[in-house]
Amino acid sequence: MNSRSIRQLHLINPPISSCICILFLLTNYLSSKSNQPFLSSKRSHQLPDLFKSSDLLSRSKFQLLKMARKKIREYDSKRLLKENLKRLAGIDLQICSAQVNASTDFTELTDKESWLSSTKLVVKPDMLFGKRGKSGLVALNLDVAQVADFVKARLGVEVEMGGCKAPITTFIVEPFVPHDQEYYLSIVSERLGSAISFSECGGIDIEENWEKVKTVFLPTEKPITLETCAPLIATLPLEVRAKIGNFIMGVFAVFQDLDFTFLEMNPFTLVNGEPFPLDMRGELDDTAAFKNFKKWGNIEFPLPFGRVLSSTESFIHTLDEKTSASLKFTVLNPKGRIWTMVAGGGASVIYADTVGDLGYASELGNYAEYSGAPNEEEVLQYARIVIDCATADPDGRKRALLIGGGIANFTDVAATFNGIIRALREKESKLKAARMHIYVRRGGPNYQTGLAKMRALGDELGVPLEVYGPEATMTGICKEAIECIMSKA
């Protein structure tokens, strides 16, 4: 990443860009001392001692060099591959697919996608889970009327996959392709490069035949060549070896150009001698959206299978989509007694991780994060939802609400606190009924004014409200909140 990339990212997500800017300056400094790039492929595993000694950076959610992997639907995986494989590798994939959900009118869809009425079809759920064939959720060799019946019988029906239950809401429909040979291909982005795996024994039994999968590792910045692919395709018949080798190189070019982090075809086959993906999965690095939004097009990042937004979460999600700021809210345990309303993505993770590390993850009611300088009205609406959830169904036991975050770079702390203060005033009776104890910790521009307003609010409402500035640690007030709710008084 260079300084131009950081400026571009700042337009999309200022808080993240600030963190990356610090890392960028640090790596430049270390590079100047060692006369070689600190994060080059040869040195990227050598973190300085200050990083190694930090217990925060050892946590799974807080690794500087770990990208954000977001699953996408099979429909989008194939769309992106088809649209970009020809541009990058000159390979014209002859694949067609259509997405079907509750709003689909099959007459309109057939008019738009004429191939649906002229060929036999395959239909299956497109819901981010695997083993669809083994679970009896794939129908083959149907006409379009039979596909419509198949979808109608299963749309909205709850199924259980991998211990998670959820209704099926989205299907993918494709031409039925009779075939004999099934191949397996996957590419996974790792810390120092990419692992490319291939097998001549793809299909639903790939796990039982995993010993037949061959893998090569391609270091970052090293180009892929037929020589790189040679160990993967060495046992293929000579007449298809070059074709599949070129296909692997083309897929890898798409993988890199579009910032995929994971891509799997299981299986793909050959139709008239040309590669043809049958089943496909993909994940994208969503932090690369700022440079890929045109190439990705109208991409969707669905929730994991089994995760259904509650009405409160949906409200915040809608609010988040309408603002340039970031507003995130997830209910973890509606009966939890520790709730958070934290400014900044990094700080929000620290608060949540600390509660868990201290042994009280079961009491954590939510994950919440607001950042990017939301205006007072947005903060008000956000705070109302958090407080309503935190105070719901009082049971006589004490609860704690953690408000604040780290030390802001540019956000006016007093201004964002105005929305929270208004919400706390509105919810005074609920706070008292829930025996809520509030802990505030914040630093940054105008923080003294913001904290003074919070102290005055505590006196006004008669609700226990502890206020701290940057002299207090974030982890320390988490411990105080836990001690409060566990005390008998």
Q: In degrees, to the nearest 5, what angle opens at C-alpha 161 toward C-alphas 159 and 165?
A: 50
Give me 50's structure tokens.
Answer: 């200050």
Share of the chain above pLDDT 90, in %: 72
Read off the pLDDT band of 408 (50, 70, 90). confident
* Among 74, 263, 270, 76, residue whose Cα is nearest residue 185: 263
pLDDT at 67 (0 to 100): 54
pLDDT of residue 394 exceeding 90, the answer is yes
Give pLDDT tens digits for 132-181. 888 889 999 999 999 999 999 999 999 988 888 889 999 999 999 999 99
H/E element, 357: helix 345-357
Phi, psi of 363 (to 5 degrees): -95, -5
Q: Please report, for the chain, the start and end positions of each structural domain, with discontinuous segments joined by +.
A: 69-94+179-296, 98-175, 311-486
Q: What's the whole-number mean pLDDT along residues 255-272?
A: 96
In eight-state DSSP terms, residue 269 is: E
pTM: 0.70
CA distance 405 to 469: 10
pLDDT at position 100: 97
pLDDT for the residue 59: 33
Q: Choose the weakest-confidence range: 158-167, 246-255, 359-368.
A: 158-167
- Of 13-27, 235-249, 368-382, 447-461, where does mean pLDDT reach its minimum? 13-27
- pLDDT attached to residue 489: 62
- pLDDT above 70 (res 358): yes
Length of the chain: 489
Confidence of residue 77 (pLDDT cuts 50, 70, 90): very high
Cis status, amide bond into 464, omega within 30 of 0:
no
Dihedral (Cα; 262, 266, 272, 273), 10-degree rounding: 60
- Model pLDDT for residues 284-308, shown as the tens digit of each residue: 998 898 899 999 999 999 988 888 8
Token couple for 395: 């049971």
Question: What CATH number belongs to 69-94+179-296?
Answer: 3.30.470.20
Judged by DSSP in three states, 100 sits in: strand
Residue 58's pLDDT is what?
Answer: 33
Q: What is the mean pLDDT of residues 77-103?
A: 96
- Residue 308: the pLDDT is 81
CATH no., domain 98-175: 3.30.1490.20
pLDDT digits (tens, 9 = 90+) for 463-474: 999 999 999 999
The fold of 311-486 is Rossmann fold (3.40.50)
Structure tokens at 54: 């930090």
Q: At what angle do helices 238-257 and 226-233 cross, to 10 degrees?
A: 120
